[in-house]
Amino acid sequence: MSTLNDLLGESKIFHNREVFSPHFVPHKLVFREKEINNIERAIAPALKGERGRNLFIYGKTGTGKTSCVNYVIDEIKNIPNTRAKISYVNCRIYNSRFRVLNKIIGDHLPTYAKRGYGAVDLYERMRNWIEEDSKIFVVVLDEIDMVKDLDDLIYTLTRINSDVKAGGVAMIGISNKISFKEELDPRSLSTLYEQELVFPAYYATEIYAIIKDRSDAGFKKGIISDDVLHYIAATSAKEGGDARFSLKILSKAGELGEEKNTQSITMKEAQEAVRMAEDDSVYDLIATLPEHQKLVLYSIALLTQSGGTYKKLTDGVDTYLFSGEIYNRYKSISESMKKDPKSERWYRKYLSELEMQGLIAAFESGKGIRGHTKLIKLLYPSKKTRDVLERDIFGLNPHAQKEEN
């Protein structure tokens, strides 16, 4: 067991832990030169005082979307005398129109943002601020699909361009879900004059090069072998080409090495770190789901725990649920929360997306079951899934929760 002195002493494993952080932006982003160039092209008009088009960036988690945008933002900060002003907003934290407006006003007019004005006042102040000297304001909305009233936000930001005599707003939206725009109101879509950029997943060879560079900078010399790095890269490629996942494995493997007081990170630590990172990643994924998709998954977790109405649909290990039973529970939960449940068409789409993300498995019902339906199986522990969702949806402490009958 480590003592406090051991924990405060110099690490035998790490040289610089920061390079494994998802927020760390390296001096050079390898294999993303083309994407960085496309972002620079989209933002160039704003740097010259022109309005430009909105840009929407898509790609799975860990494909470098946020890192590339932050890389370009850092470049812009070094450009003298530009009229462009930039705000970066993490929409998982600032998840409503008011919070986004308050955040971007606070970035540039902090004393005004603290006075407790409403959304209309913030809008008027931002419009006047832009018009003062014909500013071009670039708003980066990371995880844009997390904004609850996204239609209102998009309408507000695009409306500024109609209301100001000079200057304007350009948006850069970042999302893991290319389908998120399908939920927007047609009127919001019509105001978006946008271009799109899709980030592909990394190949195993690319992930290896990324983590080799980070391990050289983050670990002490000779701590990790190429064989272990190739194993981590191959594992991450199978998980969808997620570079962030591979860096999480590296960091956890280093922490395991420290706990064991070893002189190197072996395949054993790497394999254990993979298992730990996989558990973390699925619960991170759950937290990023759209609200109604979370409610569908929550319904599946609740029914799985109770065994479902049709308890015979179990093989002694797993519980299989009727799709219709899940939809009825989802509708009931939505209505109890004073939310309008989505249509069955949207519900089927949510099931497909949950299956694609590896959270559930879906099977066509076979003989012996009346009618034609889908059977759904939760692929992760129901109690843990339920706890994560209750904490996320309701802000509940799972340890204080009573079990539902």
pLDDT of residue 63: 94
- Distance (Å, whole) CA 402 – CA 405: 9
Predicted confidence (pLDDT) at residue 333 exceeds the cutoff of 90: yes
Over the stretch 55-93, which tens digit does the pLDDT of each residue have? 999 998 899 999 999 999 999 988 887 878 999 999 989
The separation between the first and the last C-alpha atoms of the chain, rounded to the nearest angstrom, is 41
Burial of 60 (0-12, 13-18, 19+ CB in 10 A): buried
Please report, for the chain, the start and end positions of each structural domain, with discontinuous segments joined by +. Answer: 33-198, 202-287, 289-400
Q: In this predicted structure, what is the pLDDT of residue 316?
A: 53
Per-residue model confidence (pLDDT) at position 401: 41
- Does 269 have pLDDT greater than 90? yes
Which of 184-188, 310-314, 321-325 is the least confident region? 310-314
What span, in angstroms and rounded, lies between the C-alpha atoms of 335 and 342? Answer: 11
- More confident of the two residues 168 and 177: 168
377 contacts 320 by C-beta, under 8 angstroms: yes
pLDDT tens digits, one per residue of 92-130: 899 999 999 999 999 999 888 777 788 899 999 999 999
Specify the CATH number of the domain 33-198: 3.40.50.300
The yes-or-no verdict on residue 326 having pLDDT over 80 is: yes
What mean pLDDT do residues 339-353 have? 93
pLDDT at 164: 92
- pLDDT computed for residue 199 by the predictor: 95
Can you tell me the distance from the alpha carbon of 292 to that of 327, in angstroms, rounded to the nearest whole number?
11
Would you say residue 403 has pLDDT above 50?
Answer: no
DSSP for residue 146: G
pLDDT at 400 over 50: no
Q: Give per-residue pLDDT as tens, 224-267.
A: 999 999 999 999 998 889 999 999 999 999 999 999 999 899 99
Q: Is 52 in a helix, a strand, or coil?
A: coil
Rounded-to-integer distance, Cα 378 and Cα 384, Å: 11
Phi-psi region of 221 (alpha: psi -120 to 50; beta: other; left: phi over 0): beta
Distance CA 215, CA 16 (A): 9
Instruction: Supply the pTM of this predicted model.
Output: 0.76
What pLDDT is recorded for position 364?
80
Q: What average pLDDT is seen over the chain?
A: 87
In the predicted model, is pLDDT for residue 367 greater than 70? Answer: no
> What distance in Å separates the CA atoms of residue 19 and residue 24, rounded to the nearest whole number?
6
CATH number of 202-287: 1.10.8.60
Please identify, in words, the CATH class of the domain defined by 289-400.
Answer: mainly alpha
In the chain, the largest separation of any two C-alpha atoms, in whole Å, equals 73
- Is residue 203 within 8 A of residue 5, CB to CB? The reply is no
State the pLDDT at residue 65. 96
User: According to DSSP H, which parts of 164-225 are helical?
Assistant: 186-191, 204-218
| CB-CB contact of 63 with 202 (8 Å) | yes
